[in-house]
Amino acid sequence: MHRRSMRAALVLVAAATLTLAACGDKSAGGSGSGSESSSAATSGASGSSSSSAAPAGGDLAINPLVQIDIDGNEVEASTGTDAVSPAGDGSATCDGVSVAMAGALTGPNAALGLNILYGMQTALKEHNDANANCQVEIKQFDTEGDPQKATQVAPQIVSDASVIGLLGPAFSGETKATGTIFSQAGLLSLTASATNPDLTANGWTNFFRGLANDAVQGPAVAKYLTGSAGFSTVCVVKDNSDYGVGLAETITEGLGDAADPSCAADVKTGDKDFSATVQLIAGAEPDAIFYAGYYAEAAPFVAQLREGGVEAAFVSADGTNDPQFVDQAGSAAEGAYLSCPCGPAPEEFAATYESEHGQVPGVYSVEGYDLMTIILSGIDSGITDRAGLVEYVKNYQGQGLAREYQWDDNGELSSSLIWMYEVG
């Protein structure tokens, strides 16, 4: 099945996805997908990975294609119609309780953090509107996606006695850098996007991942590329972030003989000139290029590939899966395949989100909403301290818009799936 038949499948899937919530694991995040850039500076605008997204980059948009399991096989998506509501029953009482959000709110990859924040705010509004006697606050902490900056922010979070839970950090690098600080403070760290597999191997009993990790995303996408997509040779290019390195490793392993070592290449976050890598790939003439990194570099990279005459399919993951990639890459983004543990936004949620934030949901917006809902349900149950909230999440089981949430002893979801998207 190559591009023509894949586009046919896209028409069928996109027609249904407005009423679907991705079920699945969700890895990507940032992270390997999941994200963890080390950037600073300009602020980014956010968009959507849902089929309801307004076209970005001219007439192009990121459209849901198919949901897959770890073996690359298509899996039917859940509707999410029984999702837990952040409003609860409206009888909650609480006083002086706050939830922190830590992630990139400015910088080249800010869209990824803002998507999570806006999802949280949508859930919070539903909760606070329904519960006059329990007005919860979100306290924002901008890490710029930079691990060093995050280590400066983390002490501010743990020293705020009103904060009983944290949604974040958003990127894998900053999560790795700050995990011990939050663990020692006994503060819930619930991430919507950090997907580096090693994060749950640190012995942090307070850390939970709300999506699939890259040990799921890598093999799933690799098998999809060599199976349904029909690619026999793939060049794997990675940036130097924890996210990019971890994701590239799992992708390369999953591709097996299809990964061409002659055109494997390394770049750095912040790079804008990819001429040497383009020349290397052009000489190899692969069927596809997989880029493990973020949209800030993926956009100029794919543009330079096309300018250099490389027509191979461009594939990337959740770090690239944002309308900013399409806006910045323009027509060069057309036909790109983007994976993500995140799923399309259900229609009703998308409409509410857009009315409140002036833009459609983006990657991790639904996860931000779902995970904030879980925290709020813990607060509504009467929890007022950090230890109680960690224990609540540890034993939680419930349906969200994106998937069912339940964690194992390591803080990983019990069930994980991946979505494939296509720019068209």
Question: CATH no. for residue 319?
Answer: 3.40.50.2300
Q: What is the pLDDT of residue 108?
A: 87
Name the token pair of 131. Answer: 């519960």
Amino acid present at 389: L
pTM of the full predicted structure? 0.79
Q: What is the mean pLDDT of each run of 10 residues along the chain (424 residues)?
A: 34 32 29 35 31 52 93 81 93 96 94 96 98 98 97 98 97 96 98 95 97 94 97 98 94 98 97 98 98 97 98 96 94 97 90 96 94 98 97 97 95 93 96
Residue at token pair 């009423």: 19
Give the domain extent around 272. 215-340
- CA angle 390–363–316, rounded 5-degree value: 115
- Alpha carbons 127 and 155: distance in angstroms, whole number: 28
Q: What letters, b where the CB count within 10 A reaches 16 and e where it falls short, cover 364-385? A: bbbbbbbbbbbbbbbbbeebee
Name the token pair of 182. Answer: 């939050």
Instruction: Answer whether 82's CB lies under 8 Å from 399's CB.
Output: yes
Residue 84 belongs to a domain: no
Residue 257 belongs to a domain: yes
Instruction: Answer whether 333's CB lies under 8 Å from 58's CB.
Output: no
Instruction: Answer whether 365's CB lies under 8 Å from 377's CB.
Output: no
Strand partners of residue 163: 98
Amino acid present at 233: T
Residue 368 belongs to a domain: no
Residue 89 belongs to a domain: no
Residue 142 belongs to a domain: no
Residue 164 belongs to a domain: no
Q: What is the pLDDT of residue 79?
A: 59
Name the token pair of 27. Answer: 């890895």
Amino acid present at 256: G
Report the candidate in 228, 417, 238 with the shortest Cα–Cα distance to residue 320: 238
Residue 38 belongs to a domain: no
Q: What is the pLDDT of residue 11?
A: 32
Residue 96 belongs to a domain: no
Number of domains the chain is built from: 1
